[in-house]
Amino acid sequence: MKLYEVNAAIQSALDRLDFDPETGEIGENTEAVLEELDALEMERDRILEYIAMVALNIRSDAAALKAEEERLSKRRKALERKEEKIISILDRECGGEKKDLGFATVSYRKSDSLEVIDSAKACAWLHDNGHNDCVRIKPPEVIKDEVKKLVKNDAKIPGVKLVIKNNCSLK
């Protein structure tokens, strides 16, 4: 039986319970329905145990994959650092001149980059000279932890609300 089928069968059995709402008397078929409900609850518990076991197995597999990713990431980064060191040796030995090594060529290309030494002075000059498109101003940002403390202390702050969650966990 599937979980939704068990839940439907439980609801059906509950609907078949025979009792008088005014007197509270229990009908004759109640004993059989209660036995059926016990069996359905046991089946439901078995299915839930299986689902929990599957979730724990998936968590275990994900943890193993994460550990493998971290191991491979460390290995990749080590190889990248090794490559950088070897390239720096080639750069030092070639001295900026193009070298044909048969199966590979060491070559150079020019590039430029801007280094900002004093951001405040540069931004002021750009603003004063009408180059506002060259300056990025970050919009104000709400510091959630601090605002949460205010809201918990009964502050009425428009645009925010405290959401209470009921998080399920499996251990």
Tens of pLDDT along the chain (171 residues) come to: 899 999 999 988 888 877 767 776 776 778 888 888 999 999 999 999 999 999 999 999 999 999 999 999 999 999 999 999 999 999 999 988 899 999 899 999 888 888 999 999 999 999 899 998 899 888 888 899 999 999 999 988 999 999 988 777 666
Stated pTM of the model: 0.58
CB of 129 closer than 8 Å to CB of 138: no
- 3 state SS of 24: coil
What is the reported pLDDT for 1? Answer: 84
Distance of CA 72 to the CA centre of its chain: 21
Phi, psi for residue 105 in degrees, rounded to 5: -130, 130
CA contacts within 13 A on the Cβ side of 150: 12
